[in-house]
Amino acid sequence: MNDARNGEVFEPITVHNFSERILEQVIHFHVMKLSGGFFLWVGSSPVLSNLAVSMSSRYDSMPSSTLVMGDPSNTAPNSLAQRLAKKTKKQVYVSYSLPMTNSNISLLVESRIKKEVELHPEHF
């Protein structure tokens, strides 16, 4: 799919959607693959509530992460971005737009994403 233009490797952006019923709730996932990273949105309704960015650092075994949008008291977007950056070694943008109520769900959501990364690495 790559072709050289302007002396650079040109990679087209791709979009991938999937959804899963988790704890009686349909959760939607939207992945946009970019060059060197990806954007992932997780939610049950089409709201963009927050955005965290994470990438590996040579100075720390844990990737550094920052919240660029949304409520800073919600740690879910940051921690998910950080763990996905560690797993994929890429720059990761995460919007975790699920209500904060259930913390069990975030573990299940994370394992569902990791399963998708393993099944379809080409989308991330």
Partner 1 sequence: MSSAEPVIRSRQTEKEVNGISTQVVCTEFSNYIFIVLTQYGKMGTLISITPDSRSNDISTPAFSTKVLLGKDEPLTHVCAKNLATFVSQEAGNRPVLMGLALKDSTVDAIKQMKEIIKSCQVW
Q: Which residues bind partner 1 (CB under 8 A)?
A: 5-6, 10-13, 15, 17-21, 26, 28, 30, 32, 34-37, 39, 41, 43, 45-48, 51, 53, 66, 68-69, 91, 93
* Phi, then psi, of 110 in degrees rounded to 5: -65, -40
- Structure tokens, 4: 């050289």
Residue 76 sits at the vertex; the CA angle it makes with 70 and 77, to the nearest 5 degrees, is: 55
Alpha helices (runs of H) in the chain, residue ranges in sequence order: 76-88, 103-119
Nearest distance, CB of residue 48 and partner 1, angstroms: 4
CB nearer to partner 1: give 28 or 114: 28
Supply the minimum distance, in Å, between the C-beta of residue 81 and partner 1: 12
Closer by beta carbon to partner 1, 86 or else 112: 112
Compare residues 30 and 86 and give the one whose CB is closer to partner 1: 30
Cα–Cα distance measured from residue 60 to residue 33, given in angstroms and rounded to the nearest whole number? 25
